[in-house]
Structure 1
């Protein structure tokens, strides 16, 4: 009679399956109830058909269909050595296997043939542990022979991320031309284009007689747009291999003409189909990073700090400090290098107006000096375009406002004179778009706002000026996104966009406060605004540690937190950093 509330008890014996396997293995070793022998190298290994069938689709197909093996008591496995076959059968009956460098490949081939998937992946895991930059290219080739996707993916990931080490390996020189081309054109390669060029040259020099003819095909894999012009025109252009190829020489000439004409019109006229090569994107290992440098920190005179913003962790990291304290220097990025230009040094009583140019690369995180400006100046503006840095106006060593301008040509590492600005202005908003430099507003020597737009045509070295009543900005940054220049604040809360195609201003979402002496840069098509000074509700000027982002598509402002300290008159720039596996930029 059933008791009220009686429950069913489900018992699971956790040791049952391993115990049965253990007993089956003893039966095999004692040759009890075995009904088939697997043979290799004159060695017979007695087994139970039902164990083989239940462990592998290969044996299930062999013994459960009308194949002749169904009737046979001895099965010959010719492609597997007796030692490897014995290891596999031990694994089938015990679940244990010892994998070493000596046996991993034949064991993997046997596991593949006999369809033991988990054993195959165990061998793959072992090989993945042995991966290094020296052998990852060989492992890719091996994984293709073995048809092992897990090993191929891991080996390829290492080959992509450890390009510097892989490019120095003997294996790279042994690659076939199609293999090398596939490797060098991959978007995921963690490499600088200069390094890609040096790698293909080393590959050709490994066997110059048979490989010289490949130079033009390989050279197309180098993304010339992202190479520093000095390196391109002084090193690559003079390389004997490049000079020996008509096509390579034409490609370099196309770049040179593009640089000189400062226009993209010449692309279609080129003797080679240059346009697709020029518009090739940066590799996906290139990350744009926001850098904040110099300025006046926490209301002190000047700051030597440089910081980089890590978008993933949303934290600020320290970079190497500027060698000197500079008051009202200008800041610009060119070829992934940060330039700090001029300014006034504050280490002496009266201050010295500087013509020095300091550079910092995220790769080395070291400050160096570049070719100095011909004219010392501070409180000036700098912008970059193609291979030029343009330096405009500011105050000279006599502390007077100047309309002089000059440009640095990175192709030849020299400074050149420019036509002077129509009107000398202090603290204008400056941006580059459509081969022109636009200088909005600012103030004159008497600190009156100047309501004009000054436009410099880069290719013609000519200025023009436009009167415009909408312009009334002082100490405001400008940023270009698509065909619009955004002028943000400047003793006002106003954000306006200048449409260069229609020559009209569009009103955008206001800032929360009247703001000036802040800085802006474009990162991933959004405008990031840092620091500055603002006028609070009581008309008192305060320093700011604000960090905000303006989305041009939605016309909205979003707070990104704060800077590590209050800062104004600083530089805010976007630098490209090429990731190196296992290294940090900080």
Structure 2
């Protein structure tokens, strides 16, 4: 009979390497077969050359080349203390070492000198765990001295991410001009532009005689487009440093002309240089977030809730509650601040139409009172454009439909009356683009649909109206994407995109149900729809907790799950915040 084939058995002893190291260390401690003494000051440590050669390119070069140490029984290592040398030799023979703040720097230097790369990185890892906003700039300096890229990268990352805290440290004022410029021009800097300005001013004031001349170069790093106009024109423009620089004052004047003209054209002597500065995007640590506020919750009383949607976790988080319940207020975002304007307050004894304005920013998560409107109103519309908020129509104190319009100027913190609408309507779809406000449809005082497009020219303070049989929306939101105004539902499943240049409507993918009293906002070039009411298959109106998104590139709707509760007549807005501040 044939014998079975012998199989090849590959055996690996997992304990061999560790046992070998233990035995070598035992031989070293008993001074058996050691053939070299490593010396530091008066300390002599017996070692095996072959172990040292195997552990480090430094010792391999020393003992395997034509260096004099090859023949010496004693080798003196300068610049390394006995304690550090002992720790390193123990590490070589055992793979173990204890790192503390007391020894990490000399240990790191010795590891670098003796070319123990993994030990060097272990020291770097230890220092990285000690990083905080107070020491990260010092750690960058240290990493440059030590030529440690991993520590430098982590320290730089913290300096960028925690810039709010780092900017007030003494170390920041010691930065060189190129170093500071590198921070301020970086897109990943976690800071609002107001803070960028305050940082450069503090840096200059630390050594004004030698640094004043840098104001123009530094000021170009501030993205003026994203600074609140009040701060820009009342604080920055009046700063002595800014006034001392012709270029800085010209840049601010260019912003002023742009905002006062309510135009998107850049004019003036500094147009060429200013255009490049003006078109710079927000820093990518500035994140747009979807916020839902107010409305009728679960078909009960008016809600004080405010929620923010966290894209990463796909969950809703609660914000500070509105101070009071406001029925049919309007909601708008301007300069990354949420405004809740007007509305009706009710109690068992009386109801009141309000002129109140409440504001909330994600930075503070606190509600504040702002300058009140000129007229009390509810069931009105609000829209922002550049540094203005326009409030249109609604119901006044007499509960009658009004066509009045007023405008809030955020540069001067004041309201002013504007030309009234040609036709007073309730619940129209409103959007602003290219210096114009478009008011689509709505209903008249008798609740009849109005087939009109009313257009307000912002710079001329003039209205015109156009009859259009396509318009038949009531209680539908509107939003602007890619120069088109999207009108979403309004007692219909239909969504239309209005091209302002051709005065034509383009049909888009339908909603799943006949939808009204919902809200819409644009986030990351997509249209987010929240809540509302819908007509079911039995023609019964029901409240909705739907949360959907529309992609104009594919003309498709996708479900994003649901809201935490059913909601209608609410606000749905996009607010910008610095991501690191939000993480706190």
TM-score after normalising by structure 2? 0.95
Deviation at 1:98? Answer: 2.3
Q: Distance in 2 between matches of 1:29 and 1:492?
A: 88
Asked if residue 149 in structure 1 is aligned to residue 144 in structure 2, the reply is: no
Q: Tell me the alpha carbon deviations over residues 470-511 of structure 1, each in whole angstroms, 9 at most, x when there is no partner.
A: 111111100100111100011111000011222211000011
Q: Tell me the alpha carbon deviations over residues 352-375 of structure 1, each in whole angstroms, 9 at most, x when there is no partner.
A: 111000111112111111000001
Deviation at 1:580? Answer: 2.9
Q: Tell me the alpha carbon deviations over residues 441-498 of structure 1, each in whole angstroms, 9 at most, x when there is no partner.
A: 1111222211111111212222222221111111110010011110001111100001
Within a 5 Å distance, the mapping from 1:164-243 to structure 2 comes to 164-243=164-243
Within a 5 Å distance, the mapping from 1:12-27 to structure 2 comes to 12-27=12-27
Partner of 2:434: 434
Within a 5 Å distance, the mapping from 1:169-568 to structure 2 comes to 169-267=169-267, 269-270=269-270, 273-347=273-347, 349-568=349-568
Q: Tell me the alpha carbon deviations over residues 522-568 of structure 1, each in whole angstroms, 9 at most, x when there is no partner.
A: 01110011111111111111111111111111000111111111111
Closer/same/farther in 2, CA of residues 2 and 535 from structure 1, 3 Å limit: same
Deviation at 1:17? Answer: 2.6
Q: Tell me the alpha carbon deviations over residues 8-30 of structure 1, each in whole angstroms, 9 at most, x when there is no partner.
A: 76655444333332332343344
Instruction: Give the SS at the match of 1:326.
Output: coil
Deviation at 1:327? Answer: 1.3
Q: Distance in 1 between matches of 2:349 and 2:552?
A: 45
Contact 2:363/2:582 (<8 A) preserved: no
Q: Distance in 1 between matches of 2:458 and 2:79?
A: 72
Partner of 1:127: 127
Name which of structure 1's ranges 47-56 and 367-376 shifts more when overlaid on structure 2.
Answer: 47-56
Q: Distance in 2 between matches of 1:539 and 1:287?
A: 41
Q: Distance in 2 between matches of 1:477 and 1:259?
A: 27
Contact 2:363/2:577 (<8 A) preserved: yes
Contact 1:268/1:275 (<8 A) preserved: no
Q: Distance in 1 between matches of 2:561 and 2:127?
A: 45
Name which of structure 1's ranges 513-522 and 182-191 shifts more when overlaid on structure 2.
Answer: 182-191
Q: Distance in 1 between matches of 2:179 and 2:120?
A: 26
The count of aligned residue pairs is 584
Q: Distance in 2 between matches of 1:122 and 1:161?
A: 24
Q: Tell me the alpha carbon deviations over residues 373-399 of structure 1, each in whole angstroms, 9 at most, x when there is no partner.
A: 001111111011111101111111111
Deviation at 1:162? Answer: 1.5
Closer/same/farther in 2, CA of residues 268 and 482 from structure 1, 3 Å limit: farther
Instruction: Give the SS at the match of 1:389.
Output: strand
Deviation at 1:157? Answer: 2.1
Deviation at 1:32? Answer: 3.2
Q: Distance in 2 between matches of 1:15 and 1:447?
A: 86
Q: Distance in 2 between matches of 1:502 and 1:78?
A: 82
Deviation at 1:439? Answer: 0.8
Q: Distance in 2 between matches of 1:83 and 1:2?
A: 67
Q: Distance in 1 between matches of 2:11 and 2:127?
A: 41
Q: Distance in 2 between matches of 1:581 and 1:470?
A: 46
Contact 1:549/1:560 (<8 A) preserved: yes
Instruction: Give the SS at the match of 2:199.
Output: helix
Contact 1:341/1:357 (<8 A) preserved: yes
Q: Distance in 2 between matches of 1:246 and 1:272?
A: 16
Instruction: Give the SS at the match of 2:412.
Output: coil
Instruction: Give the SS at the match of 1:396.
Output: coil
Deviation at 1:54? Answer: 0.9
Q: Tell me the alpha carbon deviations over residues 185-237 of structure 1, each in whole angstroms, 9 at most, x when there is no partner.
A: 22112211111211221222222222222222111121111111111111111
Q: Distance in 2 between matches of 1:269 and 1:300?
A: 58
Q: Tell me the alpha carbon deviations over residues 50-78 of structure 1, each in whole angstroms, 9 at most, x when there is no partner.
A: 11111112222333345554444444433
Closer/same/farther in 2, CA of residues 115 and 3 from structure 1, 3 Å limit: farther
Contact 1:543/1:566 (<8 A) preserved: yes
Partner of 2:46: 46
Q: Distance in 2 between matches of 1:527 and 1:268?
A: 36
Instruction: Give the SS at the match of 1:327.
Output: coil
Q: Distance in 2 between matches of 1:384 and 1:448?
A: 27
Q: Tell me the alpha carbon deviations over residues 141-194 of structure 1, each in whole angstroms, 9 at most, x when there is no partner.
A: 211222222212221222122122211211111111111111122211221111
Contact 2:362/2:582 (<8 A) preserved: no
Name which of structure 1's ranges 182-191 and 525-534 shifts more when overlaid on structure 2.
Answer: 182-191
Contact 1:325/1:347 (<8 A) preserved: no
Instruction: Give the SS at the match of 2:241.
Output: helix
Q: Distance in 1 between matches of 2:47 and 2:349?
A: 95
Q: Tell me the alpha carbon deviations over residues 239-262 of structure 1, each in whole angstroms, 9 at most, x when there is no partner.
A: 122122222111111111111011
Deviation at 1:47? Answer: 2.3
What's the RMSD between the two structures over aligned residues? 2.1
Instruction: Give the SS at the match of 1:445.
Output: coil
Q: Distance in 2 between matches of 1:77 and 1:264?
A: 69
Q: Tell me the alpha carbon deviations over residues 386-439 of structure 1, each in whole angstroms, 9 at most, x when there is no partner.
A: 111011111111111111101101011111221111211111110111121111
Q: Distance in 1 between matches of 2:492 and 2:401?
A: 24
Q: Distance in 2 between matches of 1:338 and 1:100?
A: 49
Q: Distance in 2 between matches of 1:225 and 1:95?
A: 56
Q: Distance in 1 between matches of 2:543 and 2:9?
A: 73
Instruction: Give the SS at the match of 2:374.
Output: coil
Q: Distance in 2 between matches of 1:379 and 1:273?
A: 45
Q: Distance in 2 between matches of 1:545 and 1:26?
A: 72
